[in-house]
Chain A
């Protein structure tokens, strides 16, 4: 069986960064498995700008950001096998891949990094009633049709979801010749970046309906296509308030209702998943509960900024490199808990005997909060408190825990408390 030092599953921003991080740390034998023809992953269809402000101190479009990393990786000895799909992963790091040109292969990695990215949730995830007809697409699918294949999926559009993908597509469809009638958001606040509301909705006078959801989809009988989308206001329990319907005559509904990590391979390897992130449970070195299998990028936790994906990917690569040199570390563990106000924490465990000055914990809050304190408590006692003016679920945050702080703990709980 072919054996490689490091096998990276996925050649998008996470996988590319992981390869670069591992190579820079001294790993020379690296193989990237990429199912598409080209590297770059989802960035290839994210043709808008706003990427790279942290990583490269420049504002780049998605493809340009991808190009930077692709060029960096192509200058290394990293082997890229494209048009190759990983269809199985064993808990002892055997990756089964298939491709038209090489057939079925099994490759043993001394270390494996999962970087498969994520999928969009579909209409079923929110059980929107109404007709099930053509004219309903996820925002990402509409984006692919538009930016890569050159098609408009619709001409009169209602968008459900005001996360960044929904906002971006509101602008994209408008620029490319469609009329976007509304962006509809279940929460009383938008889940996207303020800058995107400004330059995607406000710039084009697209109304944003907060605290609304789609309550019905009416179809045109002849062609079985969307002909009207009905939205209704919701109460605090997210239940539809009767009598608040607003009807939009349109031909298309775009859904931007959340992302979920692609965890088919994680499941095949028996890797433990976090119920909240839906990605693998990891130690602070991004290693999963299966020795030598690491995870980074959207497959681990859904990110907002690709710059953070790259940072996480490079860290995973460096940690995989360290694992290859030094082997598995046995260590006492600190369990990280998501307390009041916190949606999830990642990593979920800290290996405290593994010498490091600090650990950075990434998290999201459950709801928007202002004037809060982020608190860390160990064994019931609060040891750190950081004030924050504003936090929102749509923006990933991080907090640093020093070695002196976690050394004596067995569990640490992160909470967000209003002042």
Chain B
């Protein structure tokens, strides 16, 4: 089958590009190594939609951050993913902090971030966020910053791409890419594909993928250095501690540890930035990383009760050492191969802007793009727990499976789980269901609903008990039946 554009990777970058390209009359296929979208860095970050004052002015990062955050704001009512524009504060207390904050403000103005303001007294800061430490007396206030659910945003973009004709191939590991004339031959674990254009959105492995196609040609290239960031996710009783995303003044390591509410009313704290022990695919938590995050958070507020922690996780950033921008370029040595590489923070915030950028680049490259007339947005179903009383009542009347609660902590119903199992990109594992419905995200982390969802998945797909996976293929939940077989 001939593909116009093959997108490698279904994280936020690949999904956003698929979303945008699905508006045009082109044959687009996404090849993804894992068995679902968002499984790498995209699901393991802070979920912040940055306002855009932080990236260096003039960089693609700065331009795409501001564009992306505006697009996310436009898209959330259309796609119905969780998003709240709660604003952010970069807080400080020393003279050095004041200077850094002033610089960030200037940068923000240059990057055309709207409504930025400096709060110059402790009173003003504590009026907005009373639980911050008393010595904090200066802050950069960015009202356009927001929070979202990163995997949900990725799913929303991917679903819309899917219903508008984009094909997604999962468990598809790229083994080799060769340009033969005008066509790319892509050899994968799921067979061979031919495409006119390839867009490389493979995160921490983007450099390896590019090397495959470059072969022994010379070109401006890049090397991905992984950096691990660890997090605490705390229970909802901590979710109201702060009202905004609270950033600390940046250090040489990056943006500092943040404290923020999440769209599900939890509290998220993190990340650190570890280059020493990080490898591209290892997302294990390290004691020293967790200790660093926990101690650093105290700089913002000492009121966090870590006894309410419900989950730790870690994500790997794809950084390019010594390069303070995204590497988004059409290859000169291999025309029609486009790299979207080094997508570290603020990658998520750029999301939909990556799609626009890809279209711009394809047009510049000479592609003829015509808009579809029948493009439609796919709205995510509203969470039962987010419905009004009336809406809940109606939902159960229309579908009695809304009356059966499966996940107690997050009030997720059977209807939502069934929807997830039959979504445009179906969830067939415990974690895939979790990402689509929130079931298992709550206080007990799936201890109660896990066995129930196991049974539901098994029955729905007629799996045998050892085909129900936690997440990745082969990650069996149960090993054996009792009483022999």
Direct contact between the two chains A and B in their complex (CB within 8 A): yes
Interface residues, chain A, with chain B CB atoms under 8 Å away: 35, 83, 85, 87, 96, 98-104, 119-120, 122-125, 127-134, 137-138, 140-141, 144-146, 148-155, 176-177, 215, 217, 219, 222-225, 240, 251, 260, 262, 264, 267
Complex partner residue of B447 from A35, A98, A104, A141, CB under 8 angstroms = A141
Contact segment of B6-14, B104-112, B341-349, B390-398: B390-398
What is the interface of chain B mostly: helix, strand, loop, or mixed? mixed
In the complex, the answer to whether A100 meets B396 with C-beta atoms within 8 Å is yes
Closest 4 CB pairs of A and B: A134-B470, A151-B478, A122-B445, A100-B403
In the complex, the answer to whether B476 meets A225 with C-beta atoms within 8 Å is yes
Contact residues in B for A150 (Cβ distance below 8 Å): 481-483
Determine how close the nearest CB of chain B comes to the CB of A17; give it in whole angstroms.
22
In the complex, the answer to whether A127 meets B471 with C-beta atoms within 8 Å is no
| Docked pose: A149 CA to B457 CA in angstroms | 14
| Docked pose: A366 CA to B312 CA in angstroms | 27
Complex partner residue of A224 from B397, B454, B475, CB under 8 angstroms = B475
5 contacts between A and B (CB under 8 A): A35-B405, A83-B404, A101-B400, A129-B284, A141-B451
| Docked pose: A98 CA to B478 CA in angstroms | 31
Question: B129 near A: Cβ within 8 Å?
Answer: no
Contacts known (A85-B405, A100-B401, A127-B312); A133 close to B470, Cβ less than 8 A = yes
In the complex, the chain B residue whose C-beta lies closest to that of A88 is B389
| Docked pose: A127 CA to B314 CA in angstroms | 12
- What total of chain B residues lie within 8 Å of the partner, measured CB to CB? 57
Contacts known (A215-B287, A262-B408); A224 close to B482, Cβ less than 8 A = no
In the complex, the answer to whether B404 meets A100 with C-beta atoms within 8 Å is yes
In the complex, the chain A residue whose C-beta lies closest to that of B237 is A267
In the complex, the chain A residue whose C-beta lies closest to that of B469 is A134
Contact residues in B for A217 (Cβ distance below 8 Å): 284
Complex partner residue of A124 from B312, B448, B469, B477, CB under 8 angstroms = B312
Number of A-B contacts (CB under 8 A): 158
Interface residues, chain B, with chain A CB atoms under 8 Å away: 232-233, 237, 283-287, 289-290, 306-307, 309-313, 389, 392-393, 396-397, 400-405, 408-409, 411, 414, 443-448, 450-451, 454-455, 465, 469-472, 474-483
In the complex, the answer to whether A98 meets B465 with C-beta atoms within 8 Å is no
Contact residues in B for A128 (Cβ distance below 8 Å): 285
Contacts known (A98-B396, A124-B445, A151-B482); A223 close to B474, Cβ less than 8 A = yes
Contacts known (A104-B392, A240-B287, A262-B408); A145 close to B478, Cβ less than 8 A = yes
In the complex, the chain B residue whose C-beta lies closest to that of A126 is B309
In the complex, the answer to whether A125 meets B307 with C-beta atoms within 8 Å is yes
Complex partner residue of B403 from A99, A123, A223, A225, CB under 8 angstroms = A99
Complex partner residue of A123 from B306, B401, B445, B476, CB under 8 angstroms = B445
Among A85, A133, A151, A264, the most chain B Cβ lie within 10 Å of the Cβ of: A151
Contacts known (A127-B309, A132-B313); A146 close to B482, Cβ less than 8 A = yes
Contact residues in A for B237 (Cβ distance below 8 Å): 267
In the complex, the answer to whether B443 meets A260 with C-beta atoms within 8 Å is yes
Known: A134-B475, A145-B454, A145-B478. 11 other contacts (CB 8 A): A85-B408, A100-B403, A119-B444, A123-B445, A125-B309, A125-B310, A129-B289, A150-B481, A151-B480, A224-B472, A225-B476
In the complex, the answer to whether A122 meets B310 with C-beta atoms within 8 Å is yes
| Docked pose: A419 CA to B53 CA in angstroms | 64
| Docked pose: A98 CA to B290 CA in angstroms | 40
Contact residues in B for A83 (Cβ distance below 8 Å): 404
In the complex, the answer to whether A104 meets B284 with C-beta atoms within 8 Å is no
| Docked pose: A251 CA to B480 CA in angstroms | 13
Determine how close the nearest CB of chain A comes to the CB of B304; give it in whole angstroms.
13
In the complex, the answer to whether A104 meets B389 with C-beta atoms within 8 Å is yes
Contact residues in B for A123 (Cβ distance below 8 Å): 311-312, 445
Contact residues in B for A133 (Cβ distance below 8 Å): 470, 475
Determine how close the nearest CB of chain A comes to the CB of B454; give it in whole angstroms.
8
| Docked pose: A152 CA to B476 CA in angstroms | 11
| Docked pose: A334 CA to B481 CA in angstroms | 55
In the complex, the answer to whether B309 meets A124 with C-beta atoms within 8 Å is yes
| Docked pose: A35 CA to B471 CA in angstroms | 28
| Docked pose: A202 CA to B451 CA in angstroms | 30
Contact residues in A for B397 (Cβ distance below 8 Å): 103
In the complex, the chain A residue whose C-beta lies closest to that of B402 is A98
In the complex, the answer to whether A134 meets B471 with C-beta atoms within 8 Å is yes
Contact residues in A for B465 (Cβ distance below 8 Å): 151
Contacts known (A98-B396, A127-B309, A155-B480); A223 close to B445, Cβ less than 8 A = no
Among A83, A137, A146, A148, the most chain B Cβ lie within 10 Å of the Cβ of: A137
Contact residues in A for B481 (Cβ distance below 8 Å): 150-152
In the complex, the answer to whether B287 meets A129 with C-beta atoms within 8 Å is yes
| Docked pose: A123 CA to B480 CA in angstroms | 24
In the complex, the answer to whether A154 meets B393 with C-beta atoms within 8 Å is no
In the complex, the answer to whether A96 meets B389 with C-beta atoms within 8 Å is yes
In the complex, the answer to whether A120 meets B405 with C-beta atoms within 8 Å is no
Determine how close the nearest CB of chain A comes to the CB of B239; give it in whole angstroms.
12
Contact residues in B for A222 (Cβ distance below 8 Å): 474
In the complex, the chain A residue whose C-beta lies closest to that of B393 is A104
Contact residues in A for B286 (Cβ distance below 8 Å): 129
Contact residues in A for B482 (Cβ distance below 8 Å): 146, 150-152, 176-177
Determine how close the nearest CB of chain A comes to the CB of B429; give it in whole angstroms.
10
| Docked pose: A133 CA to B482 CA in angstroms | 23
Determine how close the nearest CB of chain A comes to the CB of B369; give it in whole angstroms.
40
Determine how close the nearest CB of chain A comes to the CB of B251; give it in whole angstroms.
23
Complex partner residue of A101 from B389, B403, B409, B443, CB under 8 angstroms = B403
In the complex, the chain A residue whose C-beta lies closest to that of B400 is A100
In the complex, the chain B residue whose C-beta lies closest to that of A156 is B479
Determine how close the nearest CB of chain B comes to the CB of A99; give it in whole angstroms.
5
In the complex, the answer to whether A98 meets B450 with C-beta atoms within 8 Å is no
Contact residues in B for A104 (Cβ distance below 8 Å): 389, 392-393, 396, 403
Contact residues in A for B446 (Cβ distance below 8 Å): 141
Determine how close the nearest CB of chain A comes to the CB of B262; give it in whole angstroms.
14
| Docked pose: A150 CA to B481 CA in angstroms | 6
Contact residues in A for B443 (Cβ distance below 8 Å): 119, 122, 260
Contacts known (A35-B405, A141-B447); A224 close to B471, Cβ less than 8 A = yes
Contact residues in A for B451 (Cβ distance below 8 Å): 141, 144-145, 148-149
| Docked pose: A215 CA to B284 CA in angstroms | 12
Contact residues in B for A140 (Cβ distance below 8 Å): 447-448
Contact residues in A for B475 (Cβ distance below 8 Å): 133-134, 223-225
Determine how close the nearest CB of chain B comes to the CB of A302; give it in whole angstroms.
14
